[in-house]
Amino acid sequence: MIKTKKVIVVTGAFLISAGIENLVLEISGMLVDQVYDGTEKKLAKKIISRKPEYVIIDPPCVEEILIPLISELNNESDIKVIGLVTPNTIQSVSSHFTFTLNKKESKLHLIEVLQRIVGTEENNQTDNDQVISKRETEILRNLALGLTNQEVADKLFLSVHTVMTHRKKITRKLGIKTVSGLTVYALMNNLVDIREVERTI
């Protein structure tokens, strides 16, 4: 089965975003989820909350926030950051990107590059089935019972950071983010009893 690959584009230029949307259509399962023009507040946070697999950035539109933006995005291990460059882009800008697309290249060439970027990830991905693990189930159960991240961590002798990592994985696998949504899932799968969760649903 083809997994969808969400792309977020950061550019204020319509011709560029339209071009990228057109390009991305050529890769199966890939789609542009959102376009930001680079002036949005808390841009990195907004991007991360949409859980894209790829973020394509047009450097001129973010100017001085480029470097903090890239470094925040790079902290998310699931996000790949791709920069739009030209042969004239200065090294101090282009070097921040793990991957780059050359604006001046032909469509065919760009498709090849994009396929290579997407391909490297496909091979690394081992667990494709979206079933949550035993540990994740345990954490999900406790969240449904109304425990906070900290309380779950204390109860299961984990760090809050680990709980949060698990939680992100659960959300990615199930497509459910809010505690009440997770509680509904837990109830429907008999992980908790309705009487236990009156408050969290």
Partner 1 sequence: MLLEKDMKLADVIHHDYNLVPVINRFGILLGFGDSSIEKICKSKNINVSFFLTILNAFHDPQYLDKRYLQTFSCKLLVDYLRKTHNYYLEQKIPEIECLIGEMGSEMISDSRSHKILQQFFSHYKEELEKHIEREENNVYPYVLELENAIKNETVSESLLTKINNYPIASYEDEHDNVEEKLTDLKNILIKYLSPSLDQKNRFKLLKELNVLEKDLNDHSSIEDFILVPKVELLEKHVMDNLSSDD
Element (H, E) at 187: helix 179-188
Using the minimum distance from each CB to partner 1, give the nearer residue, 119 or 175. 175
**99: Cβ contacts below 8 Å, ≥ 6 apart:** 80, 81, 82, 83, 117
Using the minimum distance from each CB to partner 1, give the nearer residue, 117 or 164. 164
Closest CA to 71 of 96, 92, 54: 96
- Give least dist CB 198 to partner 1, A: 8
174, 130 contact by CB (below 8 A)? yes
Closest CA to 179 of 142, 150, 154: 142
Using the minimum distance from each CB to partner 1, give the nearer residue, 5 or 96. 5
Using the minimum distance from each CB to partner 1, give the nearer residue, 65 or 174. 174
- Give least dist CB 146 to partner 1, A: 13
160, 104 contact by CB (below 8 A)? no
- Give least dist CB 38 to partner 1, A: 12
Using the minimum distance from each CB to partner 1, give the nearer residue, 117 or 187. 187
- What burial class does residue 175 get, using C-beta atoms within 10 Å of its C-beta: 0-12 exposed, 13-18 middle, 19+ buried? exposed
For the segment 1-20, give every residue that binds partner 1 (CB under 8 A).
Answer: 14, 17
Kindly state whether residue 146 participates in binding partner 1, applying the rule CB under 8 A: no
Would you state the torsion angle of the CA atoms of residues 156, 160, 165, 167, taken in this order, to the nearest 10 degrees? 70
Kindly state whether residue 184 participates in binding partner 1, applying the rule CB under 8 A: yes
Q: Using CB under 8 A, which of the segments 66-74, 85-93, 144-152, 170-178 binds partner 1?
A: 170-178
For the segment 17-46, give every residue that binds partner 1 (CB under 8 A).
Answer: 17, 35, 40-42
Q: Write out the residues near partner 1 by the rule CB under 8 A.
A: 14, 17, 35, 40-42, 49, 174-178, 180-185, 187-189, 194, 201
